[in-house]
Amino acid sequence: MTPLLYVLIGPAAAAGAIVRYGIDRAITARTQRFGLGIVVTNVLACFLMGLTWQAWAGHGAAWALIATGFLGGMSTFSTAVLDAAVEIRSRPRISLALIALGLAACIGAFVAGAWLMRG
């Protein structure tokens, strides 16, 4: 990897984080469901990661910018866990289900994206 690629990964990650924030805010504003926006964003990022993995894994710069940069910034397991932790006292079952279903959906989305790209 070149030094320029290291510099470009940062803005790609920032762009992914901005997309994550926008999707989360839009879904939360419409549904009033705390945590749902992050789950949806993570599932979408995992689906896109599956597509990307099949298309560009091992292709250096494209892989690094899209997978590590943009999609790495877009997805966030730590925020999903934080959302569940905030809600766990008032709604423990829903919080635990959010984590479990979110993880299962992310794995399924990744597999679906990879399968779709493999064709």
Q: What is the DSSP string of the chain?
A: --HHHHHHHHHHHHHHHHHHHHHHHHHHHHH--TTHHHHHHHHHHHHHHHHHHHHHTT-THHHIIIIIIIIHHH--HHHHHHHHHHHTTT-HHHHHHHHHHHHHHHHHHHHHHHHHHH-
Residue 72 counted as an annotated binding residue: yes
Q: Is 90 annotated as a binding residue?
A: no
Residue ranges for the known binding site are 72, 75
Residue ranges for the known binding site for Na(+) are 72, 75
